[in-house]
Structure 1
Amino acid sequence: MEKKRILLVDDDELITMSLEMIISAEADFEIVGKGGSGREAVALYDELNPDLLLMDIRMADMNGLEAAEEILTNHRDATILFLTTFSDDEYIVKALKLGVKGYLLKQDYKSLPAALHAAINGQSVFGGAVIDKLPTLMNQANTDDESFDYRKYDISEKEFEVIQLVAEGFSNKEISQKLFLSEGTVRNYLSTILEKLNLRDRTQLAIFYLKHE
């Protein structure tokens, strides 16, 4: 089986060495390059075209968010996963809006191999602490209809209301009460929405909404 090529960028050499050991222990991964700044991430990505870029956020010269924006501008299909010690709301929102595949905290390093597999397979990957923040981030976001043109996704107005409430962390029962619908109808709406947007679950739906808000 062909190994998946990983580019690793972190300005802490000790962290880089530790991550390299964790990733290299997986038979289907290989580290094809290492860097210590956002500018190196951009240059190395252009040179190596890896299957996945695993990158820190706070780095000298150019931070990870700026590097990701430049890489995704030049390589729209780039798979980027952030691994950082910072769960700042501003960072999370910016990362989601950029369209990266995931945002993990370094204390969740044990789940890293599984996260790499999931991201390479096209799934969005977010640590538990980040997922817990999503409802709060949704409530802080401007939910004016014009900020998210749901119509271009063939989403109806009622379906959009369901999306907003899911993104704000409400359960199906709570949504049914707010919209005066049965729980079965809410489940049907949710299934239709996920199919239309080609998403897997409620978490991906919430992330999709925040990215496009």
Structure 2
Amino acid sequence: MSEEKAADPSAAQEGRIRVCIVDDDPFVTTSLATILAAEPDVAVAGEGCDGEAAVALFERERPDVLLMDIQMPGTDGLAAAERILAAHPEARIVFLTTFSDDEYIVRALRLGAKGYLIKQEVATIAPALRSVTCGQSVLGGEVLGRVEALVQGGGPRLSGAARLAPAGVAAGSPAQSAEQAHAAAALELLSEREHAIVEQVAEGLDNKEIAAALYISEGTVRNHISAILQKLQLKNRTQLAIAYYRAR
């Protein structure tokens, strides 16, 4: 059953990052709230225990950042994020989980999440919130390693994928900008039609759906995807989707 805690009145103080925390473990939400409340520029605006509570909290509090678990009973974090972002594309959602699962990472990136952190890396959370509010996307160290493995697949560095900044890296850092530029340049190798197909792949569409959306045959879609993977030196659709989101 969804439960929410009322907003902290101090969260209205100007200049502080307003954060809502959602996790099915009350010990986690309480601990995170205590840790973040100790930060001079962070205020906890509310807490919830599942996806339904997350949707309600966001609608009511409109936090600067929603910090949310993925695996929760009932409506999970990914489903909640999808609903929130459909209604509020500008929402900043950071997933905080114990799982650096490849499928979760890819789904989170496709949804438009601004971050994916591991609960054990507690010290990175506050810096990550600051980076996200400055327009930076963030990944925890363990997750960053998984993304790099997915993107590179053991192959050459030219993959079209710029790394997300590790938690705490300031927005617009030279290294981050250079790698994003590298990714964008790699995708510039593609034709207009190929760009359209990459966008559809990144949205999770299969070949039949892409063919219908672009008014071409499934065979043509397959041929284009093979050519795209070869141009970008990628191995599969998952790597292609990550490359697309890293270059945005």
Regarding TM over 0.5, the answer is yes
Structure 1 position 165 matched with structure 2 position 176: no
CA contact (8 A) 1:80 1:100 kept: yes
Q: Is the 8 A contact 1:5 1:32 kept in 2?
A: yes
User: Aligned partners of 1:118, 1:208: CA distance in 2, in Å?
Assistant: 20
Paired residues for 1:76-87 under 5 Å: 76-87=89-100
| From 137, 141, 152, the counterpart of 2:150 | 137
Pairing of 1:90-109 with structure 2 (within 5 A): 90-109=103-122
Task: Verify: 1:190 aligned to 2:182, yes or no.
Answer: yes
Task: Find runs of 4+ consecutive structure 1 residues off by over 4 angstroms.
Answer: none
Counterpart CA distance in 2 for 1:133 and 1:192 is 21
Q: 1:21 and 1:168 mapped to 2: Cα distance?
A: 34
Which of 47, 60, 64 is equivalent to 1:47?
60
Instruction: Give the structure 2 partner of residue 70 of structure 1.
Output: 83
Deviations 1:12-49 (A, max 9, x none): 01111110011100111111111000011011111111
In structure 2, what is the Cα distance between the partners aligned to 1:208 and 1:87? 15
TM-score (norm 2): 0.59
What SS does the corresponding residue of 1:136 show, helix, strand or coil? helix
For normalisation by structure 1, the TM-score amounts to 0.69
Amino acid corresponding to residue 167 of structure 1 in structure 2:
A
SS at match of 1:90: helix
Percent of aligned positions with the same letter in both sequences? 42
Q: CA deviation at 1:165?
A: 2.1
Q: Distance in 1 between matches of 2:34 and 2:18?
A: 15
Q: Which runs of 5+ in 2 are unaligned?
A: 1-13, 164-177, 189-239
Q: Give, as a single letter, the amino acid of the residue that structure 2 aligns with 1:23.
A: L
CA RMSD of aligned residues (A): 3.1
Report the 3-state secondary structure (helix = DSSP H, G, I; strand = E; otherwise coil) of the residue aligned with 1:78: coil
Give 1:191 shift: 9.1
Q: What is the aligned counterpart of 1:127 among 112, 135, 140?
A: 140
For residues 112 and 51 of structure 1, the distance between their equivalents in structure 2, rounded to whole angstroms, comes to 14
User: How far has the Cα of 1:164 moved from its partner?
Assistant: 5.2
Who is 1:209 aligned against? 243
Structure 1: 5+ residue runs without aligned partners? 141-161, 170-185, 197-205
Distance (whole Å) between structure 1 residues aligned to residue 84 and residue 157 of structure 2: 30
- Deviation of 1:163 after TM superposition, in Å, equals 8.8
Q: Does 1:15 align with 2:28?
A: yes
